[in-house]
Amino acid sequence: MRNRPIMALLCSVLLAAGSPLLADSYQQHDDLEIHYNAMPTTRLAPAIAEERGIQRSRLQGMVVISVQRDGKSVPARLRGHAIDGAGETRDIDFRKIRQGNFVNTVGTFRIDDLERLRFELEVQPRDDDARYPIRFSERFHVD
């Protein structure tokens, strides 16, 4: 499975939380696969959230990003924000989470129930001057 690191994190997060698996989305840029997914932090089991240092809250969402080349994790810098329906920008606080040989980047941000956010992210792999845009939107259903 090419998207093993992000799926490993999502499986541990979602199965521990008793939630069905969400589809992993990705974009291909040259020889890079950039996998991403967004969800409310309430989908995290308390033990998983504490282990990963993520605060569970009805008002907080998270985005998980994994960058891969030839099935191997590629460390990368992420920048970006989310934009709500009124055009207001929300900062995303990104940090790295290691799982064995894989590195995921997790970002947290404020959410409201039934809100659709548009994400505008920029991924810059380490040792690479190129920057890759990632654009997607997600509607959040707060548990």
Domain parsing of the chain, residue ranges:
4-140
3 has a pLDDT exceeding 80:
no
At 47 the three-state DSSP class reads helix
pLDDT at 52: 87
Sort residue 127 into left (φ over 0), alpha (ψ -120 to 50) or beta.
left
Tokens (6 digits) for 48 = 């998983």
Distance CA 134, CA 86 (A): 21
Query: Which amino acid does the sequence have at 75?
Result: P
Rounded CA separation 117/140 (Å): 8
Question: Which pTM does this prediction carry?
Answer: 0.80
| 40-71 pLDDT per residue, tens | 999 999 998 998 889 999 999 999 999 999 98
Give the span between the Cα atoms of 108 and 101, in whole angstroms.
Answer: 23
Convert the pLDDT of each residue in 93-126 to its tens digit.
999 998 888 889 999 999 999 999 999 999 999 8
Residue 4 pLDDT > 90: no
Which residue from 115, 119, 143 is spatially nearest to 133, judged by alpha carbons? 119
Q: How far apart are CA 118 and CA 139, in angstroms?
A: 9
Q: What is the pLDDT of residue 19?
A: 33
First to last CA, the chain: 30
Mean pLDDT of all residues in 75-99: 94
User: CATH homologous superfamily for 4-140?
Assistant: Domain of unknown function DUF4426 (2.60.40.3340)
Q: Within 10 A of 115 (CB to CB), how many other CB atoms are there?
A: 16
CA 100/CA 23 separation, integer angstroms: 23
pLDDT bucket at 143, cuts 50 / 70 / 90: low
